[in-house]
């Protein structure tokens, strides 16, 4: 079967459905509606296989049926993923619907060309063409009134291994929920050797009830109205739409490269010591002195250090003009709300927060200390009200971008445990957040060796990446 992507050939395109007769309809909460027309979250899990098991005939005849069967069994627990987001003309807001007679998950089975070097893709610190990864993630369908929730692509690298590429609609699930699904799929797949009816651990059994999300400030309508106003500006033909805004979130792959860097536990300890030694040298506006923490989290250390390295690299590459930067990050609200949200709640329970930095802070001499203090302070203040300012977030972002500020963000988390996901073929050789190429985004996972380090995925202009590589490594050479 021919493929529009000349780097792969399609073996099969099909739909995998759960064996269920249950019709399901779920509302979207305000946490979901924040991301209504946001780009898909795309991840790739790369797995190595012995030569014999990665031969096309063996792989497609023996391993793929196991992956398909376990996917169908898993979807019985995760019915929203097999459905769609719909927005009927007579409905004031969109919702999730699963119809057992028609719905299922799109699955693409593919094989890549022999000239694609599997081992090169797995390398750290070795940039490769950013567009290459787009060969291994599937398209996610969306129109004004309909949007798929998830699509999956399994790609064979003959004589090396395979990848599982997953595209998910952010208005249905956040990173924690999508990882829960992949872990459940892997658990059931691995258990098929022992039983035809595998059970899930309680923590992997999704909690689907939406009434645990309270909305006293009517944020649902705030975000629906915000998206309608944005839609009327960008898509003048239709205000009421759930179509992913591809014009705003197009992958930035021309002249761009993708690379993974690592901050080891030792690197993080050195950064922690260095930043805290200068902590009190920085005085906030009004002469306010911030408390001196005993230790900074790996999140604060990684985000502050990587963001200033990115800013300096961009600044040096465009020395003819001074750039402005901002930084924002997602926050899991499950344990930050006034009422308890179950740990296995399946849906969105994250908000985005913009750090209160000045645009020039990232390129100052002690920028890493300034930014670390700002991120640390933002996280501390969330205990007082994690939802504060959420009603004006989208307009604040649009205003900043309109002023030419380059916004840096974060995707993923070191707490998801993605390198522990074993389908029965061993742990992943690499996990990549592909969709970081849709903006200036830092992709975070725990280190593959599970020894307390952090992996950082980036997509940057080739010249910027070269500068980042130098700044990143030189900055870790402490006296």
Exactly one of 99, 235, 366, 422 is catalytic; which is it? 422
Question: CA 141, CA 152: separation in Å to the nearest integer?
Answer: 12
422 is catalytic: yes
Beta strands 454-461 and 8-16 are: unpaired
Q: What angle do CA 192, 194, 196 make, to 5 degrees?
A: 50
Q: Which of 39, 170, 353, 469 is catalytic?
A: 170
Q: Catalytic residue positions? A: 170, 422
């Amino acid at each position: 079967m021919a493929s529009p992507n000349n780097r792969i050939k399609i073996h099969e395109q099909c739909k995998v459905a759960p064996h269920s007769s249950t019709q399901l309809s779920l509302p979207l909460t305000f946490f979901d509606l924040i991301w209504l027309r946001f780009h898909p979250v795309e991840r790739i899990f790369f797995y190595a296989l012995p030569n014999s098991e990665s031969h096309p005939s063996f792989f497609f005849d023996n391993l793929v049926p196991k992956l398909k069967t376990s996917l169908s069994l898993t979807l019985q627990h995760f019915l929203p993923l097999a459905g769609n987001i719909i927005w009927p003309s007579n409905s004031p807001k969109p919702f999730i619907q699963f119809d057992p007679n028609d719905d299922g998950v799109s699955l693409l089975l593919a094989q890549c060309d022999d000239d694609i070097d599997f081992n090169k893709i797995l390398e750290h610190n070795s940039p490769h063409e950013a567009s290459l990864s787009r060969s291994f993630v599937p398209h996610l369908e969306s129109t004004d009134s309909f949007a798929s929730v998830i699509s999956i692509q399994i790609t064979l690298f003959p004589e090396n291994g395979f990848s599982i590429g997953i595209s998910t609609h952010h208005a249905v699930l956040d990173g924690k929920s999508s990882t829960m699904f992949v872990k459940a799929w892997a658990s059931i797949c691995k258990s098929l050797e022992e039983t035809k009816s595998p059970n899930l651990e309680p923590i992997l059994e999704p909690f689907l009830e939406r009434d645990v999300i309270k909305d006293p400030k009517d944020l649902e309508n705030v975000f629906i109205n915000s998206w309608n106003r944005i839609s009327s500006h960008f898509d003048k033909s239709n205000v009421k739409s759930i179509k992913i805004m591809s014009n705003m979130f197009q992958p930035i792959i021309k002249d761009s490269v993708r690379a993974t860097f690592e901050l080891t536990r030792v690197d993080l300890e050195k950064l922690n010591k260095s930043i805290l030694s200068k902590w009190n040298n920085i005085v906030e506006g009004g002469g306010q002195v911030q408390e001196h923490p005993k230790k900074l989290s790996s999140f604060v250390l990684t985000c502050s250090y990587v963001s200033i390295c990115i800013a300096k690299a961009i600044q040096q590459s465009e020395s003819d003009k001074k750039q402005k930067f901002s930084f924002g990050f997602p926050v899991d609200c499950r344990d930050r709300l006034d009422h308890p949200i179950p740990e296995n709640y399946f849906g969105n329970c994250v908000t985005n927060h913009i750090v209160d930095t000045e645009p020039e802070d990232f390129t100052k001499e002690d920028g890493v200390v300034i930014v670390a203090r700002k991120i640390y302070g933002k996280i501390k203040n969330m205990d007082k009200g994690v939802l504060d300012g959420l009603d004006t977030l989208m307009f604040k972002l649009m205003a900043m971008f309109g002023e030419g500020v380059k916004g840096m963000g974060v995707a993923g988390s070191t707490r998801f445990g993605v390198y522990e996901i074993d389908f029965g073929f061993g742990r992943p050789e690499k996990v990549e957040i592909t969709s970081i190429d849709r903006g200036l985004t830092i992709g975070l996972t725990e280190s593959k060796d599970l020894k307390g380090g952090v992996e950082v995925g980036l997509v940057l202009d080739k010249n910027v990446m070269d500068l980042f590589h130098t700044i990143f490594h030189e900055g870790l050479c402490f006296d």
